[in-house]
Amino acid sequence: MNYLSPILRNNRTFLLAYDHGLEHGPEDFLLEKSAEPEFILELAEKGNFSGVIFQKGIAEKYYQSWQNIVPLIVKLNGKTKWQAGEPYSPLICSPEYAKDLGAVAVGYTIYPGSKFEHLMFKEFGQVVEKAHNLGMAVIAWLYPRGKKIDNENNPQVVCYAARIGLELGADMIKIKWPLERKYLEKAVNLARPVKVVLAGGERISEEEFFKRTKEVIVSGGCGLAVGRNIWQRKNALEIAKKLAKIIYQR
Ligand code: FBP
């Protein structure tokens, strides 16, 4: 069974990430309307995204009338930027409840290298089994962090993270930009057949973002799961449409 098919177009994916209100707080909402979930849902529809990523509370309050319009991915764990020390992101929503909210897939962040990695591995293992029983795909955010990790953007660290996703049973993995295209190709190969998507990170120039998106595709990546580089821009819809073309084109 291909659990991912509801969020794939032409075997690629373009997901609008919007869990930042929890992870970073309102400081990310540089434009007033980016604090409004309805604006994000409209953007997801008109911008040709293959899915939108919400935490459970936003999904409960805003998603119901959008079922069958934009596929929903519910992020099952999360934390605030105030959490200090070794990172751990607790489970705050079950796969069953995500399904009731209309989700076709779920997401879970793992911080490999953290002192609490074992807890996240255990929770993630249970999430994968439950989600698959419910016919839902699991996307793993793989962000190596903690005292043991000197530099989470080190290409070898990013490649290791990609492989961890395959080992742990993810259907799709989300990693940070590994600085050079050759490492992106390596990460894609190490995770195969698990699909690899890239996070956007902090807002960069449009030009650089288009360049990276093209590199993701030519390197065998499946697409993007991106937030700030879209909805922090005044021309978010225009940018999204252009990126969607790059991503879905064969
Ligand atoms: P961006 O494209 O805005 O970087 O979003 C990707 C994402 O993974 C979000 O889903 C999440 O809220 C955020 O980055 C977490 O980033 P970090 O843990 O690096 O602060």
Per-residue pLDDT, 1:
72
Q: What is the pLDDT of residues 130-142, one digit of tens each?
A: 999 999 999 999 9
Q: What is the pLDDT of residues 8-52, one digit of tens each?
A: 999 999 999 999 999 999 999 999 999 999 999 999 999 999 999
Of the candidates 66, 36, 30, 44, the residue with the CA atom closest to the CA atom of residue 241: 44
Per cent of the chain over pLDDT 70 is 100
Query: Whole-prediction pTM value?
Result: 0.97
**Whose CA is closest to atom 12 on ligand 1?**
20
Rounded CA separation 101/213 (Å):
31
Best mutation site among 15, 16, 19 for ligand 1 pocket (most ligand atoms within 8 Å of CB)? 19
Catalytic residue of the set 108, 111, 143, 248: 143
Rounded CA separation 212/156 (Å):
19
Per-residue pLDDT, 229:
98
E strand or H helix at 39: helix 37-46
Per-residue pLDDT, 132:
98
Check whether 179 has a pLDDT greater than 90. no
Catalytic residue of the set 56, 130, 174, 195: 174
Per-residue pLDDT, 236:
98
Per cent of the chain over pLDDT 90 is 98
| Domains of the chain from N-terminus onward | 5-248 (3.20.20.70)
Q: What is the pLDDT of residues 97-152, one digit of tens each?
A: 999 999 999 999 999 999 999 999 999 999 999 999 999 999 999 999 999 999 99
